[in-house]
Structures are given as C-alpha cells and as structure tokens.
Amino acid sequence: MNQTLSIRRVAGALGAELSGVDLSQPLSDDTIAAIRQALVEHQVIFFRDQTLTPAQQVAFGARFGPLNIHPYVTGMASQPEVMEIIKEPSDKINFGGGWHSDMSFLETPAVGSILYALELPEYGGDTLFASQAAAYDALSDGLKRTLEGLSAVHSASREYAPGGASAQKRGAMQVAEADGLVGEFVHPMVLIHPETGRKALYVNPAFTLKIDGWKPSESKALLDYLFQHCRYEAFTCRFAWQKGSVAFWDNRSVWHFALNDYPGQRRRMRRVTVDPWPAMAATARVAAE
C-alpha cells in the first residue's frame, strides 16, 4: 500500500514524528523507502495511534533487515523475535534504564530497534534519545582525529552478568544471566553511517568495556569524558509515549534511556530489533576501517 507521509521534527539534534501511515498494513516499497530515509535523516522516528499484533510488528520490522533474537531476553512464545519489555508495579528496576545502544555487545550489532507501546503508566515512562552524530560533530578536530584511529571493546558481561543491571530478576520478563563464555567484540569508536556517510561516536556506558590496546586507567579517563559529553542535552530528544506509539531508532548513531520514574505502575512494550543485511554489515566494516 502506498501512503503519504508527513514529517515533523521534534528537536534540534534528532527525532521526527511521522504521520499518515498505518504500520499494520503491507506497505509499498516506496513507503518503506520513505520511512527508511526519514530514519537515517532524523535518527529516531515516532509514529502515533498504531495497532500492531506481534506478527504485524515482525512483518514491518522485517522490511528493514533480518530480525534479531535476543541472546539473553526470552522472546514471545509465538514470535521469538518479539521481546516484551515489561515493568510490573512490584519491579524496582526497569529494562534499558541507562544510556546504551542496543546490542553493541554482539559481533554484528543491531542497526535498528522498533518499540511499540501497549500499556503505559499514568505518568512517567518516557524514553530519552541522544544523537551520537551530534556528539561527534561537537568534538574538537584534535579529539576527532585521535578517535578515528581507535576501537573499543564491547561486551554483555557487565550488564548481563549475575548482579548486572540488565540481568536483575523481574516480575514478567525472562532474562538469562551471561555465563563465562560471553564474548568481547571490538568496534571502531567512530562509525561512518553506511547510508548517509555521517560520522557518529560508537561507545556507550552499558556495553563498552575499554579502549582497545589502552591501559585501563587511560581508557577510563577518555571513556568517562565521552560518556559525559555524549548525553549533553542539546544532543537529545524526549519521547512521551501514548498507547499505540511506535519509536524506531538507528542504533548506529543513537543512544537511548528508558526513564524509571513511575514506581508502582505497569509499563508494557514490544520490541523487534533489526540486524544489518549481510551486505550492509560488510559495508559498515569497510567504511569504518
């Protein structure tokens, strides 16, 4: 189906709300291309008033790439690619409650995440997004030159190891703890976006352990500086969810943070996570070298 999109930016650095499209319908290649163009341009895009079954969310997500099955969070029995992100009133911590980029701990990190809101607290529960392209642009030329030769080690070990924030037991989500075999993967600290050519910082406080080849104390000093810099408010936007809202973000250039400011209330979302097409992954690696 061909649909005409309207696009309204929501903040200076990133974020746009798209209207005029029903994501539950089979969409034409032109409409998918327009959504993809909006995503790479605005880095995170939002839709309102959608009604999606898990199968429809999978069908929409699969137009952008193969869907990831999360290695630690059990997906829905009927659709393992769909992860339910649920905070029960009795849960103290939420999932995604810290700045991160989804799945940077994998050898081939996810390119996009599509989150759909089913049930929201009466207040709170917004998600923050931060443009890592804007964060890169704001660095001095000297630091940009330094970073371009560097890579960083990413791993799920800290977050998903016993006691890690992401591995904490929750009322309704099944999250496995990482065992001793969890991998470490090295990614360039500056990614060149394979579709726009724009550069973005690619380190995050949840999954980046250290700068490859640096002493721990040297690595900590620079990463601490970058983690502070990368969340400066001018690089961010904030999304206030309503039932039926969808956010679609580009993990190659965006951090996000699910706010945990609604104690005693329930929030239920569904996420599908898009992996790169194999050819695109190869391009991203070559471009970043």
Binding site for ligand SIN (CB under 6 A): 85, 95-96, 102, 113, 115, 127, 256, 258, 269, 271
Closest among 69, 82, 67, 71 to 105, alpha carbons compared: 71
CB of 246 to ligand SIN, least distance (A): 12
- Is residue 171 a contact partner of residue 86, using CB atoms and an 8 Å limit? yes
Known catalytic residue: 100? yes
84 or 155, CB closer to ligand SIN? Answer: 84
Known catalytic residue: 231? no
CB of 176 to ligand SIN, least distance (A): 17
Q: How far is the C-alpha of 16 from the C-alpha of 144, rounded, in Å? A: 27
The continuous run of DSSP H or E covering 44 comes out as strand 44-47
Q: How far is the C-alpha of 224 from the C-alpha of 227, rounded, in Å? A: 5
Known catalytic residue: 102? yes
CB of 221 to ligand SIN, least distance (A): 27
CB of 102 to ligand SIN, least distance (A): 6
CB of 161 to ligand SIN, least distance (A): 18
Q: Which of 42, 70, 91, 100 is catalytic?
A: 100
222 or 237, CB closer to ligand SIN? Answer: 237
Q: Which of 91, 102, 250, 275 is catalytic?
A: 102
Closest among 40, 182, 130 to 32, alpha carbons compared: 40
201 or 269, CB closer to ligand SIN? Answer: 269
Burial class (CB in 10 A: 0-12, 13-18, 19+), 264: exposed
- Is residue 105 a contact partner of residue 156, using CB atoms and an 8 Å limit? yes
193 or 256, CB closer to ligand SIN? Answer: 256
| Cα separation values, 148 from 107, 201, 217, 238, Å | 20, 9, 20, 29
- The tokens describing 187, both together, are 């990614």
Residue 69 Cα to chain centre, angstroms:
15
Q: Which of 193, 256, 267, 270 is catalytic?
A: 256
> Which residues pair with residue 201 across a beta bridge?
190
34 or 103, CB closer to ligand SIN? Answer: 103
Q: Which of 42, 70, 170, 271 is catalytic?
A: 271
Known catalytic residue: 256? yes
Determine the residue type at 39.
Answer: L
- Closest residue to ligand SIN, judged by C-beta, is 96
Catalytic residues: 100, 102, 256, 271
